[in-house]
Amino acid sequence: MRATVYHGARDMRIDHVPDPTIQAPTDVIARITHACICGSDLWPYRGIDANQSGGRMGHEWMGIIEEVGTDVRNFKKGDRVISPFTISDGTCEFCHKGLQTSCVNAQFWGGLTNDAGQGEAVRVPHADGTLLALPASVENDERLLKAILPLTDVMVTGHHAAITAQVGPGSIAAVIGDGAVGLCGVIAAKRLGAERIFIIGHRENRLKLAQQFGATDVITAQDEQAAQEVREKTQGGAHAVLECVGTVDSLNTSIRLTRPGGAIGIVGAPHLSALPDLGYRFFQNITISGGIAPARAYQPELLQDVIAGKIDPSPVLDMTVDLDGVPAGYAAMDAREAIKVMVRP
């Protein structure tokens, strides 16, 4: 089969790789119908994270099950499934708690060990614990499938930011970052009842989309200036801050615009170049929470709302490519010409 393989910074190739086969009785094989390129894929693409050459790419995918291991109980051939962006066994303490990312058997998609989403097919380890079946009613509804696809990562990640930032009815929320996760964070904050939602970013088309999703206030200033504007407009800061970037500047901006006693939900993978302002955090009793989103825990609830038409994150997918178009998709996201790329292998 063909799949996206990392050969170094800015060198993604569509290579011929071995077809996946069942290796353990808990595996399934799925044919990929939809996948995405993630903002976090840009870290290795840009050479900031050192991925190993030859590793597979893509942790966001939807597909149809083609083959089922003998111990798999929840799925059969022909089922349409979505995957969370991590693999989990579904049976350990942390899976039962809804923290599947800390599963004692957690694995990531791709790299040198596993298949990955940006290809024709995948072997799915721990299929029963990992995958979520979609109802038959969604089949052939391409508009709905596109709205469901972000539940593989960005929509659940934005939701995790909102949950861990403790957004609730009446909250003043602030979202740092206007990438796909930040935009989904706006959807999530609105869904959880935020009364006022600041979006801090600087790309006009994305900020407009944020407003469509429910942002009430747009801040285009950066760093301390952005924090000051939010503090002034709210007489003290936002109760709930969704940190959707991961740099030390974005973390410091988050800390500085949080209301005393408020909380920050961090979902931007941390790439910190300096000590963040944990002194201010301390004296204002600001809670830093969040982390890698336990996508599998949130998918059922959010899927219901997508199917019911209550939320629709599909506008973040503003470019579509086939497998041969994946390298161009990376380049478009790197240049910020696309918010997020959908792949149809």
Binding region for its own copies (CB under 8 A): 93-94, 97, 99, 101-102, 164, 236, 260-261, 266, 269-270, 272, 274-276, 278-279, 281-292, 294
**Closer by beta carbon to its own copies, 49 or else 229:** 49
Tell the smallest beta-carbon distance from residue 93 to its own copies (Å): 7
Tell the smallest beta-carbon distance from residue 250 to its own copies (Å): 13
**Closer by beta carbon to its own copies, 8 or else 261:** 261
Tell the smallest beta-carbon distance from residue 151 to its own copies (Å): 19
* DSSP helix/strand/coil, 223: helix
Tell the smallest beta-carbon distance from residue 32 to its own copies (Å): 26
How many whole angstroms separate alpha carbon 100 and alpha carbon 84? 10
* Beta-sheet strand order (sheet of 12-16): 12-16, 2-6, 55-56
| Tokens 């929470």, residue located | 289
Tell the smallest beta-carbon distance from residue 285 to its own copies (Å): 4
**Closer by beta carbon to its own copies, 77 or else 97:** 97
**Closer by beta carbon to its own copies, 116 or else 288:** 288
How many whole angstroms separate alpha carbon 49 and alpha carbon 55? 13
**Closer by beta carbon to its own copies, 97 or else 208:** 97
How many whole angstroms separate alpha carbon 167 and alpha carbon 193? 7
Q: Which of 8, 20, 14, 36 is nearest to 115 (CA)?
A: 20
Tell the smallest beta-carbon distance from residue 268 to its own copies (Å): 9
How many whole angstroms separate alpha carbon 101 and alpha carbon 120? 25
Question: Which two structure tokens, joined as six digits, stand for 303?
Answer: 């899927």
**Closer by beta carbon to its own copies, 135 or else 282:** 282
Q: Which residues are 81's β-sheet partners?
A: 63, 133
Q: Which of 48, 43, 53, 49 is nearest to 12 (CA)?
A: 53
Q: Which of 240, 159, 235 is nearest to 195 (CA)?
A: 240
Q: Answer for the pair 141, 81: CB distance below 8 angstroms, yes or no.
A: no
Q: Answer for the pair 60, 32: CB distance below 8 angstroms, yes or no.
A: no
Q: Answer for the pair 316, 149: CB distance below 8 angstroms, yes or no.
A: no
**Closer by beta carbon to its own copies, 97 or else 336:** 97
Tell the smallest beta-carbon distance from residue 290 to its own copies (Å): 7
Tell the smallest beta-carbon distance from residue 18 to its own copies (Å): 30
Distance of CA 157 to the CA centre of its chain: 4
User: Residue 187: what are its φ and ψ, rounded to 5°?
Assistant: -55, -45
**Closer by beta carbon to its own copies, 216 or else 284:** 284
User: Residue 288: what are its φ and ψ, rounded to 5°?
Assistant: -105, 115
**Closer by beta carbon to its own copies, 53 or else 285:** 285
On the 0-12 / 13-18 / 19+ scale of CB atoms within 10 A, 122 is buried
Tell the smallest beta-carbon distance from residue 64 to its own copies (Å): 31
